[in-house]
A = this chain, B = another copy of it.
Amino acid sequence: MNQKLLIDTAELASALQHFADERDWQQFHTARNLMLALTGEVGELAEIFQWQTDAQVLTMRQDDPARYQHLQEEVADVLLYLVRLASVMEIDINRAVSDKIAKNAIKYPAT
C-alpha cells in the first residue's frame, strides 16, 4: 500500500479555509465549535440508519434513492467538518491516518 496515495486532504483543507475566509467565518471556526458541529453532523448521519434493518440498509441505494442521496450528503458533511477541525489544529490527516493504520496493523495482527 502506497501510503503517499492514501489520502490527499491538503488541497481540500486549503479550499475549506478559503471558503471560510470569503464568508468571514474564521471567527466561528474554533476547534471546539467545529467539534460541536461535527457532533451535529454525526447525529444527522445516525438518524438515517436509526429505524432501518440491515436488509433495508443493504438495498437503500436501489430502493430508497432519496435516503441514499441524503446519506451521501451527511457523509460529506462529517468529512468536511473533520478536515476543517484537523486543519485548524494543524494536523496532517494523511500522516495521522498512515500512522494509525500502521499502529492498528501491529495491534490487530492478521489471523
Contacts and interface: CB of A to CB of B under 8 A. Distances in A.
Interface residues of A, number: 69
Nearest to A57: B31
Given A50-B33, A97-B76, A12 B6 contact: yes
Contacts of A90: 61
A47 B36 contact: yes
Interface in A6-21: 6-9, 11-12, 15, 18-19
Interface of A: 1-2, 5-9, 11-12, 15, 18-19, 22-24, 28, 30-33, 35-47, 49-52, 54, 57, 60-61, 68, 71-73, 75-80, 82, 85-86, 89-91, 93, 96-97, 99-101, 103-105, 108, 110-111
